[in-house]
């Protein structure tokens, strides 16, 4: 009986042909190579009542979840880790779970804005010749990863602005961000790299938040229908 159980466990843990499952591979890269703390997202509930996979609700108890599938639930955000054994266990048991980055501390922070405003901001930053780090895009939003910042530092920076659009979201200490790939997630949980980390990089380079926030504020203010705090 032990031999049979052992063979079954080996089959569960064995990587798919061609390498590890995509999400496990991405999670291990973040956790072990880049030292970014990660954890699995809740994911979508199974489609029911005639709903398609794209219409599936979040698997969390909130029927009106505004980030369906793309947030921590069980385990909670405090469980985020860089431990390879824990990461392997999570994604071996839940191979389609979304990949969530716990932002802040020594990990990257991020600034996100509606997709149309994000495209404008990236174009402006490119025109300025500013070096950017990784950028994550979902169907409705774009998130620029930046070097870690404190709430005090962010507050001082925003206080100096005449106006900060409500459509801007700041992912700092105690926050989180969905990272690509996002196979098996629903709706707004789908993500891709708009600007991918350089292949083989020991750790992705990140700009300071001061370097990008002016362009993000300007793009959000100038874009009609710039979005709201609940749009994701």
Residue 184's pLDDT is: 42
Assess if residue 5 is contained within a domain: no
Assess if residue 100 is contained within a domain: yes
Residue indicated by tokens 């600034």: 111
> Residue 4 pLDDT > 50, yes or no?
no
Assess if residue 232 is contained within a domain: no
Pinpoint the alpha helices (H) of the chain.
Answer: 2-13, 22-28, 84-93, 115-127, 151-159, 209-222
User: Who wins on pLDDT, 66 or 5?
Assistant: 66
How many Å apart are CA 49 and CA 57, to the nearest integer? 11
Mean pLDDT value across residues 3-10? 41
Assess if residue 229 is contained within a domain: no
Domain count, the chain: 1
Structure tokens that stand for 44 in this block: 């979508």
Mean pLDDT value across residues 117-141? 91
The answer to whether the beta carbons of residues 73 and 59 sit under 8 Å apart is yes
Report the b/e string of 62-86 with b at 16+ CB within 10 A: eeebebbbbbbbeeebeebbbeeeb
Assess if residue 1 is contained within a domain: no
Predicted confidence (pLDDT) per residue in 83-119, tens digit: 999 999 999 999 989 999 999 999 999 999 999 989 9
Predicted confidence (pLDDT) per residue in 190-224, tens digit: 789 999 988 766 889 999 998 888 888 877 776 55
Residue 66's pLDDT is: 85
Residue 90's pLDDT is: 97
Assess if residue 12 is contained within a domain: no
Note down the domain range covering 27: 19-222
Assess if residue 140 is contained within a domain: yes
Assess if residue 4 is contained within a domain: no
Q: What is the pTM of this model?
A: 0.80
């Amino acid at each position: 009986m032990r031999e049979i159980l052992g063979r079954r466990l080996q089959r569960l843990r064995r990587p798919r042909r061609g390498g590890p499952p995509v999400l496990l591979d991405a999670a291990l890269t973040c956790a072990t190579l880049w030292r970014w703390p990660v954890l699995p997202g809740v994911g979508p509930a199974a489609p029911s009542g005639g709903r398609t996979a794209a219409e599936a609700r979040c698997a969390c108890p909130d029927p009106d979840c505004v980030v369906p599938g793309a947030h921590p639930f069980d385990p909670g955000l405090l469980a985020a880790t860089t431990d390879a054994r824990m990461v392997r266990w999570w994604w071996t048991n839940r191979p389609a779970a979304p990949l969530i980055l716990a932002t802040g501390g020594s990990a990257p922070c991020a600034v996100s804005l509606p997709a149309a405003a994000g495209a404008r901001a990236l174009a402006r930053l490119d025109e300025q010749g500013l070096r950017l780090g990784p950028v994550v895009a979902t169907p409705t939003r774009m998130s620029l990863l930046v070097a870690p910042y404190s709430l005090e530092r962010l507050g001082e920076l925003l206080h100096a602005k005449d106006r900060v659009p409500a459509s801007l979201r700041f992912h700092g200490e105690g926050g989180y961000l969905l990272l690509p790939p996002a196979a098996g997630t629903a709706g707004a949980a789908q993500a891709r790299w708009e600007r991918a980390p350089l292949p083989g990089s020991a750790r992705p380079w990140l700009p300071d938040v001061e370097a990008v926030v002016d362009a993000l504020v300007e793009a959000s203010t100038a874009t009609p229908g710039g979005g709201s705090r609940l749009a994701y």
